[in-house]
Amino acid sequence: MRWNPFKHCCGVAEIGTFYSPAKKNSDNDQRLRELEGEITAKYKGVVICTTNSFQKRAALCLARNGYKVILDFINPNTGNPVKIWLKDLTKTEV
């Protein structure tokens, strides 16, 4: 999955796996920007992503690219910390 509209919601898209630990930071940043461009061209709105405590480099990539953490919580099924990230593409240039 590259990205999908958030089910039963208008104006929010969710990004699937975008980050590859084998790639350079600049390549991951570019891939994220490409996804944002696709979303903006076809859908417009807000993008939401999640990271867990094992995805530190992916979290740094999101932070570098203007995503903000809107919620931290503990996954009740795994006990792992999870962050929910958001970026409003209607207010940024992609």
User: Which segments within 1-94 are labelled E, that is strand?
Assistant: 3-5, 12-15, 46-52, 68-74, 81-88
Predicted local confidence at residue 6, as pLDDT: 66
pTM, to two decimals: 0.78
Domain ranges, ordered by start, for the chain: 3-88
Q: Per residue of the chain (94 residues), what is the pLDDT tens digit? A: 477 666 656 667 777 777 777 788 888 888 888 888 888 877 768 888 889 888 898 999 999 999 999 999 999 999 999 999 999 988 866 5
Residue-level pLDDT at 14: 73
């999101």: which residue's tokens? Answer: 62
With the CA atoms of 2, 59, 82 and 53 taken in that order, what torsion angle do they form, in degrees rounded to the nearest 10?
Answer: 120
Q: Which CATH architecture has domain 3-88?
A: 3-Layer(aba) Sandwich (3.40)
According to DSSP, the β-strands at 68-74 and 46-52 are unpaired
